[in-house]
Each structure stands twice: as structure tokens, then as C-alpha cells.
């Protein structure tokens, strides 16, 4: 496993992290047994993965609780990020006066006395403009030692730029993958401010595993995709598969494409079993050449930039 700096935080993180949305989460994904979830976290640590991303609403708090249980006795080996705004009861509430209590609840579930970072979880745009007191409260929590860093989880380059301009955020989590490259234009501005970038949804909710086609039927959160969305994705998969190196999977190429950008600190694919976990983590072992990255950029610019896919 290779490691990178998480912006100006002084924290080193594994290039491939562990997206914990699926831990204990039967609400959005197929269910996972608690013991299996804990084993996956332990195996990730054993393989050199040290970055774990969770949130209070993942599995109604179960993701944080299972991660806390798995990290008992091993907290010092892990870098843990959680979020604020989406709550365990599946409600949205970004009232800044609830930040402190939400952080305390996360600390309790995670069985720890600090978070390495906390992210505003896809907040309303006005918060990113700095017109509220959210970042002042986060700064206070940092001074108290409850958190080491803060930022936001967003979906676009415009949101990134607003956050960079109006806050002292040290970390930004952003959706970026082969099919969603718009945020790439803001990477340089983040690097200029030495902000660590965490890339979420790197496999387009599993589509970039290459396992699905236009006839696939989803009963989980991916049921949001309509037929046109499925068809557009399916048409691009063969084009991408032609670019694979011998022995390379589409998952590995998709993650390596993201890690091609040095501005990225870590990428956080999810996993439901040991096989998926190992496939994700081994993506850190090789680099893709610049010409392949440029070809992937070209596919997005020609096929998707003017008519973007919904996530």
C-alpha cells in the first residue's frame, strides 16, 4: 500500500481507503452480518489500509458503531472521518447548533475521543458561501481537540471552489470517477491551498465494476437510475475494457485513474466481501500512464461532459 499526505493536516493516509457506507446498512444496500463487517475492517488494517470514511446516517448509526467495535484496540492504526447533516433517523438537519451534539454521538458510537476529520455532508450551498457560523463551530471543535480537521463532502467543482474560497477547510470529499469528471477543474485550486482530497463514489456505485449491463435490475439505492441512464453507462463499458492491461480489472483501472491525480489524497471505494476489498486495495500497487489517463479524460469530454450522467 502506498500513502499520501492528507493536505496540510500532517496525517498520512493510504491511497485506497475504506468507504463504510455498506457496513451494517441494510437500508441502502444488501445487508451485511456484523461479524463480516468487523472482519473486513480488520483485514483492511492488516493490508495497510488506514483511512475509513463513515457517517451517522449510514445504516442508522450502525456503520459508525461497527467501525468503533472493529477499531477497539487498534484506533491508533486508523484515520477516521465522519460527517454532519444526515442523521441516524434518516432526517436532514444542518442546524449549526446541532454540530457539537452530533460529533459527540459519533464519538460515542465510534468508541473514540477524537475524529481525524469531520465533513459537512452535502450541505446546502449557502453554507459553503461562509454566510453561516458552521465553520466557526468546526474551528472551535478543532481547538478543543474533538476533531483534527474539517471540511465538506460535495459533488461538484463549483461547490469545491466555494468551500475553498470561504473556509479554512483542510479536507474536501468530492464525487469523482471516470463517468463524473467535472470536479477535476477544481483540483488545482485545492492543491494550491494544500487541501486534502478524498474521492467518493469512485466506482459509480458499482457500475465501474463491469458486472452490470442495460438489463440489470437494482432493488437498492441504485434503483434511482432510469433506463436511459443504464443504457448510457452500458455503452461505455466495452470502450473502457479495451484499455485494460493484462491481469488488470476494470475496478483497478477506475481507481488507478483517480490516483493518477496527485492532488488526490485517498479514494474510498465500498466493499461487501473480502474479494472486493482485496481488489480495491491492490489498485494502489501500479500507476496508469499519462496517455491512458488522457484518453479517459477524452472519453468523458466527448461523451458525457455536455450530457452528464446522474449519479
Catalytic residues: 58
Query: Are 20 and 54 contacting, i.e. CB atoms less than 8 angstroms apart?
Result: yes
CB atoms under 10 Å from CB of 186, counted, come to 24
Distance (Å, whole) CA 93 – CA 79: 26
> CB within 8 A of 209, min separation 6: which ones?
203, 250, 251
Task: Give the integer Cα–Cα distance in Å for 163 and 176.
Answer: 17
Question: What is the C-alpha end-to-end distance of the chain, expressed in Å?
Answer: 29
Are 42 and 71 contacting, i.e. CB atoms less than 8 angstroms apart? no
Pairing of β 3-5 and β 12-14: antiparallel
Amino acid at each position: 500500500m502506498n500513502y499520501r499526505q492528507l493536505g496540510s493536516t500532517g496525517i498520512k493516509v493510504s491511497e485506497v481507503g475504506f468507504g463504510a457506507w455498506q457496513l451494517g446498512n441494510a437500508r441502502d444496500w444488501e445487508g451485511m452480518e456484523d461479524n463480516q463487517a468487523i472482519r473486513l475492517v480488520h483485514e483492511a488494517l492488516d493490508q495497510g489500509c488506514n483511512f475509513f470514511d463513515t457517517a451517522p446516517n449510514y445504516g442508522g448509526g450502525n456503520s459508525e458503531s461497527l467501525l468503533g467495535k472493529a477499531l477497539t484496540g487498534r484506533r491508533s492504526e486508523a484515520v477516521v472521518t465522519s460527517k454532519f447533516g444526515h442523521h441516524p433517523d434518516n432526517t436532514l438537519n444542518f442546524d449549526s447548533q446541532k454540530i457539537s451534539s452530533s460529533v459527540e454521538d459519533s464519538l460515542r458510537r465510534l468508541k473514540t475521543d477524537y475524529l481525524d476529520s469531520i465533513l459537512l455532508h452535502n450541505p446546502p450551498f449557502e453554507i459553503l458561501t461562509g454566510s453561516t457560523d458552521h465553520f466557526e463551530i468546526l474551528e472551535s471543535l478543532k481547538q478543543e481537540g474533538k476533531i483534527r480537521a474539517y471540511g465538506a463532502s460535495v459533488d461538484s467543482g463549483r461547490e469545491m471552489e466555494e468551500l475553498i474560497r470561504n473556509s479554512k477547510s483542510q479536507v474536501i470529499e468530492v464525487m469523482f470517477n471516470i463517468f463524473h469528471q467535472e470536479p477535476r477543474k477544481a483540483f488545482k485550486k485545492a492543491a494550491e491551498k494544500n487541501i486534502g482530497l478524498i474521492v467518493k463514489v469512485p466506482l459509480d456505485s458499482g457500475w465501474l465494476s463491469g458486472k452490470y449491463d442495460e438489463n440489470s435490475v437494482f432493488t437498492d439505492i441504485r434503483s434511482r437510475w432510469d433506463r436511459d441512464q443504464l443504457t448510457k453507462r452500458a455503452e461505455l463499458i466495452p470502450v473502457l475494457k479495451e484499455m485494460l492491461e493484462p491481469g488488470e480489472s476494470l475496478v483497478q483501472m477506475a481507481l488507478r485513474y483517480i490516483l493518477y491525480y496527485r492532488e488526490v489524497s485517498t479514494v474510498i471505494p465500498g466493499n461487501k466481501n473480502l474479494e472486493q476489498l482485496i481488489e480495491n486495495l491492490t489498485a494502489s500497487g501500479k500507476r496508469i500512464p499519462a496517455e491512458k489517463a488522457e484518453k479517459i479524460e477524452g472519453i468523458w469530454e466527448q461523451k458525457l461532459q455536455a450530457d452528464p450522467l446522474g449519479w
